[in-house]
Structure 1
């Protein structure tokens, strides 16, 4: 995988690799099977490294489409999860959230800090999906957060922690 990334001029941790994995419908992080590769490259209409390089800007631009981004975000949960676990371990969840939301969600640094000090050891799929929804719908000042809404407890605790933290 490192050699491939070097060949196309992309760091392995670059979000473009997640977008590519999504297009290939890759099951495991860190490598692509021959079948995933052939099927994905056919769909992308790439028959060589140069052609794939020429598509990188297009792949990156797909992140600007909210529907495509949501699909990639949801895909990332199962892609990054240990297959024998139902949840993402918290370190992996924080890394993936940083990759996906770190540049676009103004509250991400605070949310990351909350996760760092929280009791949570992992993040389940419901929490994962709701973090994206929260990042898209709740104002940075949390003024439109409804305590009686159907948010996971993790997000209720984040809001409570943030209000306490910002008041001190």
Structure 2
């Protein structure tokens, strides 16, 4: 995509839009690379790797979005952002983010990546996120597996901020049991 012609250009002759091209793409559409909308675009394009779009993904995704120029894509940004407000679509984007962000030779997300993605996805909407992030900072966990990842979203949606409805006998991963214990101990100490 170039600003000069205004058209949505597919990746170049190497068939892949990489990190430098992604930066230029973000600049062209007026969005910071760390903006959650970039994750939504990647989800729409069904891109399996963070920081890269193949020509096939690009063409398929831009056709699906009916975008053939910068202005059309910019006009779709609000539409794409509204996906985050739909609980079912958001859940799909959240689940997609796990595989999108992990190293392909790993089954889990390294904790720094997990924390960054959780901040992007839940940081603005989950009141307990800052406390959960603080827990992760001091925890023994070095990675987050897919089950833990999926359950963090469910926990964020169903457990009240005072943790009063947390079922200790529920099927939560140990990570979340430990978070609840940690948070209750912190609150008791206040």
Q: Which runs of 4+ in 1 moved over 2 A?
A: none
Q: 1:119 corresponds to which residue?
A: 140
CA apart distance, 1:48:
1.1
Residue 58 (1) aligns with residue 79 (2):
yes
Equivalent of residue 69 in structure 1, options 47, 65, 90: 90
CA apart distance, 1:121:
0.2
**Greater share of residues in helix:** 1
Q: 1:95 corresponds to which residue?
A: 116
The 5-angstrom pairing of residues 1-168 of structure 1 reads: 1-168=22-189
Deviations for 1:5-44, whole angstroms, at most 9, x for unmatched residues?
0000000000000000000000110121111000000100
CA apart distance, 1:111:
0.1
CA apart distance, 1:119:
0.2
CA apart distance, 1:166:
1.3
Q: Secondary structure at the residue paired with 1:119?
A: coil
- The answer to which of 41-50 and 65-74 deviates more is 41-50
Which structure has the greater CA radius of gyration? 2
Unaligned runs of 5+ in 1: none
Q: TM-score, normalised by structure 1?
A: 0.99
Q: TM-score, normalised by structure 2?
A: 0.88
Cα RMSD between the aligned structures?
Answer: 0.4
Q: Distance in 2 between matches of 1:115 and 1:142?
A: 17
Deviations for 1:63-119, whole angstroms, at most 9, x for unmatched residues?
000000000000000000000000000000000000000000000000000000000
Name the count of aligned residue pairs.
Answer: 168
Q: Secondary structure at the residue paired with 2:165?
A: coil
Q: Distance in 1 between matches of 2:137 and 2:30?
A: 32
Unaligned runs of 5+ in 2: 1-21
Deviations for 1:104-154, whole angstroms, at most 9, x for unmatched residues?
000000000000000000000000000000000000000000100000000
